Amino acid sequence: MRQSSRAMRQDAWTTEDDEILADIVLKHIKQGSTQLAGFNEASRRLGRTAAACGFRWNACVRKQQRQIIELAKEERKKSKSERVQAQMEGGDLDHPTATLMSWAQVLRFLRQEKNTAQEWASRWRSAERQSNEWKNRYRELQEEYRQTREELNRVKANYETIAQDYKVLVQIMERARKAALLDETQLGEGFMYQIDEYGNLERVEHEPVERAE
C-alpha cells in the first residue's frame, strides 16, 4: 500500500516539532477551544497522529510550557470577560452565540416596561373613576326611585280617599234625589228625611202640619 504525502511519521520529536505543537495547543487554549482540537491541528501540521501529539504534549511539552500555559489561560479568561462586557455594552445580540443584553437594551426595555405599566395604571385609574361615577349615579337613581315610589303611594292613598268620598257623595246625592221625588202627600203624612253622621238618609216621623184654612 502506498503511503500518502501526509503519511504519519514514526521518528523522534525534534525541538522544532515541540515548538509547533506548543504554539498550536496554546493558541487553542487562548481562543477558548480544547486541547483535543489543538492535537488534531498539530497532527495535520506535523504528519503525526492526534494521539501521538497528545502523548507528546502530556509527557514533555506541557511541563516545559507550564508558565506559558497559565498565561494562556489567563488571556483566555480576560478575552472571555471582554467579550461578555462588549455584549453588555452594546454587542451584537443577533449573533448566534450572544446570550446577554447590553445595558442600553436593558435600560430601553425597562423604560418600555415602565411606560407600559404607567399606561395601564392610567387606564385603571380612569376605569376606577368611571366606576365610581356609575356607582354614584346608581345611588342617585335609587334615591329618585324611592322618592317616586313614596309619591306614588301617597297619590294612590289620596286617590282611594277621594274615590271613597266621591262614592259616598254620589250615594248621598242619589238618596237626596229620591227624597226630592217624594210628593207632598207622603210628606204630609208625617215623614221627613235627614242625613246622619255617616252620610245615610233616614226617615224621621213628625206630626203633620195643619194647613191653614
Sequence spans of domains, the chain: 15-88
Higher per-residue confidence, 162 vs 90: 162
Q: How confident is the model at residue 104 (pLDDT cuts 50, 70, 90)?
A: confident
pLDDT at 148 (0 to 100)? 93
Q: What is the pLDDT of residue 1?
A: 37
Q: What percentage of residues in the chain have a pLDDT greater than 90?
A: 18
- Mean pLDDT of the region 20-40: 85
Higher pLDDT pick, 4 / 132? 132
Average pLDDT over residues 110-120: 88
38: number of CA atoms within 13 Å, CB side?
A: 24
* Least confidently predicted of 14-28, 62-76, 127-141: 62-76
More confident residue, 41 or 3: 41
Distance (Å, whole) CA 49 – CA 36: 12
User: Please, which residues have CB within 8 angstroms of residue 165's CB and are 6 or more apart in sequence?
Assistant: none
Residue-level length of the chain: 213
DSSP string, the chain: -PPPTTPPP-SPPPHHHHHHHHHHHHHHHHTT--HHHHHHHHHHHHTS-HHHHHHHIIIIIHHHTHHHHHHHHHHHHHHHHHHHHHHHTT--TTSTT--S--HHHHHHHHHHHHHHHHHHHHHHHHHHHHHHHHHHHHHHHHHHHHHHHHHHHHHHHHHHHHHHHHHHHHHHHHHHHHHHTS-HHHHHTTEEEEE-TTS-EEEEE-PPPPPP-
Which tens digit of pLDDT belongs to each residue from 32-50?
778 888 899 989 989 999 9
pLDDT of residue 98: 45
pLDDT tens, residue by residue, 128-137: 999 999 999 9
Tell which wins on pLDDT, 87 or 158: 158
Q: Give the Cα separation of 174 and 67 in Å (integer).
A: 137
138: its cell numbers: 346608581
> Quick check: 90 pLDDT over 60?
no
Is the separation of the CB atoms in 190 and 205 below 8 Å? yes
Rounded mean pLDDT of 158-182? 81
Best mean pLDDT range from 24-38, 57-71, 98-112, 145-159: 145-159
